[in-house]
Amino acid sequence: MLRREAAGWNAPIVSFIAVQHRDPFRTLISCILSLRTKDATTAAASSRLFARAHTPEAMLALSLKTLERLIYPVGFYRTKARVIRGISRDLIEKFDGRVPDEIDELLTLKGVGRKTANLVVTEAYAKPGICVDTHVHRISNRWGLVRTKTPDKTEIALRAVLPLRHWIEYNGILVAFGQTICHPTSPWCSRCKIAALCPRIGVEHSR
């Protein structure tokens, strides 16, 4: 049911970039830019950056100041500029400029956590993974599907209870659902197609 509804919601920006370009490097870098940043800001920064550089080599050719200017005002843009340069360097030195398609290899890149690694694997390579961000963590617990305290623990718990066939699409659907209907505070339960099935764990106020 949510899959059908999701067609009318805005897709997460990283998913949009992944589908638009089919480029693992752009998917990886846009994911770094998106952390703690609104989608509209991420989209604009990604467009400016990739117009100048869309390979690890081209990224390293940019000065740190230029990189900062191109991605501003994403959250923590100075830190992210350094992270992007470090990732680009590591990709060249460790992986011949190729973005790995395995989570464990992606995690060797400084600044890449489990959320980013799973997102790259699922969005860029269409391989099974469960990307858990704040929306996925919150909604999975709100449904009672898991009972966890952190996104990393939610990922592990979901791997045990969520059928493999749903892994790849789970993040995209829940992020769009969380941004549109299932808000952190005062969710739109009156508009939710699955409200009758939801235990609303932890929900104190709703609309």
pLDDT in tens, 106-145: 999 999 999 999 999 999 999 999 999 999 999 999 999 9
Q: How confident is the model at residue 3 (pLDDT cuts 50, 70, 90)?
A: confident
Structure tokens at 127: 């391989």
Compute the Cα dihedral for 93, 99, 103, 107 and give only its sign.
positive
* Predicted TM-score (pTM) of this structure: 0.87
The pLDDT, as a whole number, for residue 2 is 75
- Where does a domain end: 68, 96, 125? 125
How many domains are contained in the chain? Answer: 2
- Nearest of 175, 202, 205 to residue 189 by alpha carbon: 205
The pLDDT, as a whole number, for residue 81 is 98
C-alpha torsion angle, residues 97, 102, 105, 107 (rounded to 10): 110
Q: In this structure, are 86 and 171 located in the same domain?
A: no
CATH assignment at residue 119? 1.10.340.30
Q: pLDDT tens, 56-69? A: 999 999 999 999 99
- Where does a domain end: 125, 143, 174? 125
Q: Is the peptide bond before 163 cis (omega within 30 degrees of 0)?
A: no
The residues that are catalytic are 115, 133
Q: How confident is the model at residue 22 (pLDDT cuts 50, 70, 90)?
A: confident
